[in-house]
Structure 1
Amino acid sequence: MSITVGQLWHHPVKSMRGHPVDEVVLGPGGVIGDRAYGFVDVQTGRLVSAKHPKRYGRMLDCVARFTEPPRVDRPTPPVAVTFPDGETLTGDEQAIATRVGELLGREVRMVTSVPPGVPYEEVWPELEGFGPDDFYGALQITPGEQDEAGERVLAIPTGMAAQGTLLDLAALHVLAESTLRALAAAYPEGQWDGRRFRPNILFADDGPAPGAEYVEDGWIGCDLRIGSQARVHVVAPTPRCPMPTLAQGDLPRDPGILRAVARVNRRELGGMGQFACAGAYAEVVTPGVVRAGDEVRVTQTVAESSALASAMEMISEGLRAARSRTPAGGS
């Protein structure tokens, strides 16, 4: 099977739209500059994330670009943010925060890091077989609460497997074009554009691996050698939240996107249960420059300990314990 790097993205600001680039630099913690900036809601003290769409979904109306390519040996460059009315603010973090606050109707401050334990908010479905309070405890997250729209939201610690970053969980998110084609066949009414899923790397490939319906299934536990330098280890499928269903630039809101993924591509994540998945989470083994068009080689490898694998095992153990405490027939 032929695999190359199809598209690469920089997402400088958490939950804002990013932009395609010809190359990225992979460091130990993922793409250098990925979600380098974010915003904290002054009222709640939580990291702003469009995974709580009714409160923060308008973040996706903004586009963020670095003023110069980020590099390993340099400070993170400033960003230029273009707002829905077309105005672009460059470098002035206070002015950008003020405009974002006006857009959201909430006071926010721009940050490049948050203290350990600061959460982001997410609308998350309850799992079957045990009570939601057990689920919250297993994930070590704040119990669900109702927001002003009556939705139940969770507060999940930021960077569970990527400590010190503004990432949700893993350091790297990859996706294959053949997965988008397979999902499009299941739901042809949808616009299956890679931008919806906000990957770091979109791979161009000619089909799934033998015995796997989706190509990422065959990559779990393998290394991907990308170009002449970089090597990443694929750890787990990527569970999808409602974010790919939201309007993003010229992509319309479409709840059918997530319903289609849930219908045709549910995957077991350790002991956590089944989730609607598309793409895969990975970690960087060997840093290096990745360029569009680079050849990708899939190699079997001996399983190694990793922050992501450890975080997922911790969650799985917590869920198994929660299930064992749940009385038969109860919740």
Structure 2
Amino acid sequence: MSLSLGQLWRYPVKSMAGEHVDAATLTRLGVPGDRLVWVRGPEGVRTARRQYRLLGLHATLSSDGDALVNGHPWDSDEAAALVRAAAGEDAWLERAPAGHQFDILPLLVATDGAIASFGRDVRRLRPNLVINGVDGMDETTWEGATLRIGPSAIFLDSLRGRCPMTTVDPDLITRDPEVLREIGRRFGGRLALNAAVTRGGRIAVGEAVHLER
């Protein structure tokens, strides 16, 4: 099995659509620029699990490394209006405290074999890394293994239990609850792997990936 890094993603605003990148220097907090900002309401952080229209907003990084929402600075009036329309009039954007912006671990690692088995757009899974060259659902045997990409090392902790965000079509921004039921029936509710960076370093799409079990 010859593995390579097929895709690399970051999501500058939590629960919004993200962006492809060609390379990144991993740190203990994962991909730089990931989940810099989140959406809040009076009750706390709001996510696309309930406010699914947030996935229709596109978050990118500016040239100076700060988050943009549909091309607008995250702290602008324009971005604020977009977020209120998507997540409620009492929603606002706020910079996320470093280390607290992740639901589980800083990285989510998906594999091309599992994506093919899933049969739907990879964006529904919101991975940071997609590993190519994986046979079928072999990722289900990867818990506790380590990926080495260039100088970096990534510990694969556990398979990710999937949530309602997978039910949202990333282009139409419509929901289909059957998607999550299908993940439950076919994959035990789990796709892709929660992961942590144990050694930082620069990684790039196309690089060889070594799996150490």
The TM-score, its normalising length taken from structure 2, stands at: 0.92
Q: Secondary structure at the match of 1:58?
A: helix
1:60–1:249 contact (8 Å) kept in structure 2: no
How far apart, in 2, do the equivalents of 1:206 and 1:221 lie? 17
Query: Is 1:59 aligned with 2:59?
Result: no
How far apart, in 1, do the equivalents of 2:173 and 2:194 lie? 24
Hey, what does 2:140 align to over in structure 1?
A: 217
* C-alpha spacing 1:240/1:233, structure 2 compared with 1 (3 Å): same
How far apart, in 2, do the equivalents of 1:38 and 1:91 lie? 10
Hey, what does 2:12 align to over in structure 1?
A: 12
How far apart, in 1, do the equivalents of 2:63 and 2:140 lie? 36
Q: Give the one of 80, 85, 88 matched to 1:97.
A: 80
Q: Secondary structure at the match of 2:135?
A: coil
Q: Give the one of 118, 124, 127 matched to 1:196.
A: 124
Q: Give the one of 178, 187, 197 matched to 2:113.
A: 178
Q: Secondary structure at the match of 2:154?
A: strand
* C-alpha spacing 1:91/1:281, structure 2 compared with 1 (3 Å): closer
C-alpha displacement of 1:99: 3.0
2:111–2:131 contact (8 Å) kept in structure 1: yes
Question: Percent same amino acid among aligned pairs?
Answer: 29
Q: Secondary structure at the match of 1:30?
A: coil
Correspondence 1:244-323 to 2 at 5 A: 244-250=166-172, 253-266=175-188, 276-300=189-213
- The structure whose RCO (Cα within 8 Å, separation 6+) is larger is 2
How far apart, in 2, do the equivalents of 1:99 and 1:183 lie? 31
Provide structure 1 residue ranges, at least 5 long, that are not aligned to the other structure. Answer: 70-76, 83-87, 115-162, 185-191, 209-213, 267-275, 301-331
* C-alpha spacing 1:97/1:91, structure 2 compared with 1 (3 Å): closer
Q: Secondary structure at the match of 1:50?
A: coil
* C-alpha spacing 1:103/1:220, structure 2 compared with 1 (3 Å): closer
2:40–2:94 contact (8 Å) kept in structure 1: yes
C-alpha displacement of 1:25: 2.2
C-alpha displacement of 1:247: 2.6
How far apart, in 2, do the equivalents of 1:264 and 1:103 lie? 31
2:11–2:35 contact (8 Å) kept in structure 1: yes
1:36–1:165 contact (8 Å) kept in structure 2: no
Hey, what does 2:93 align to over in structure 1?
A: 110
How far apart, in 2, do the equivalents of 1:91 and 1:281 lie? 27
How far apart, in 2, do the equivalents of 1:28 and 1:233 lie? 11
1:19–1:64 contact (8 Å) kept in structure 2: yes
* C-alpha spacing 1:109/1:245, structure 2 compared with 1 (3 Å): same
What amino acid sits opposite 2:66 in the alignment?
P
How far apart, in 1, do the equivalents of 2:90 and 2:174 lie? 27
C-alpha displacement of 1:60: 0.8
The TM-score, its normalising length taken from structure 1, stands at: 0.60
How far apart, in 2, do the equivalents of 1:239 and 1:61 lie? 23
Q: Which runs of 4+ in 1 moved over 4 A?
A: none
* C-alpha spacing 1:277/1:91, structure 2 compared with 1 (3 Å): closer
1:174–1:279 contact (8 Å) kept in structure 2: yes
What amino acid sits opposite 1:242 in the alignment?
P
Q: Deviations over 1:185-212 (max 9, x none)?
A: xxxxxxx11111000011111414xxxx
